[in-house]
Chain A
Amino acid sequence: MSCSDFNDLDAELTAFGHPGGSSVRAVHDQFHGDLLEVSMGPQHPSTHGVFRMVATLDGEQIVKLKPVFGYLHRNHEKIAENTTYLGSMPYTDRLDYLCSMSTNWAYALAVEKLSGQAVPDRAQYLRIIMAELTRLVNHACLVGFLFNDLGTSFTPLLYAFREREKIIDLFEALSGSRMMCNYQRFGGCRVDPTPEWLAAARTLVENFPRFLDEYERMLTGNEIMLARTQGIGRLDPAHAVNAGLTGPVLRASGVDYDLRKVDGYGFYPRFDFRVPLGAQGDTYDRYMLRILEMRESVKILVQAFRDLPGGPIMDPKAKLRSFRPKAGEAYGRLEGPKGELGFYLISDGTPNPYRYRVRPPSLINLTLLEEMCLGHTIADAVVILGSIDIVLGEVDR
Chain B
Amino acid sequence: MRDLLQIPIRILVNRIPPLLVAGIFISVWQGLSMLVYSEFLLPSPSATLGAIFELLINGILINHLLTSLSRVFIGFTLAASLAIPFGLILGWYGRAMNAFNPLIQILRPISPIAWIPLAILWFGIGDRPAIFIIFITSFFPVLITSASAVRNIDASIIKAAVNFGARGTGMLKKVVLPACFPQIVVGLRISLGIAWVIIVAAEMVGMRSGLGFMILDARNFLRIDMVVAGMVIIGLVGLGLDRLVCSIENKIRRRYGFSGV
Co-assembled chains A and B: no
Q: Which residues of B contact A (CB under 8 A)?
A: none
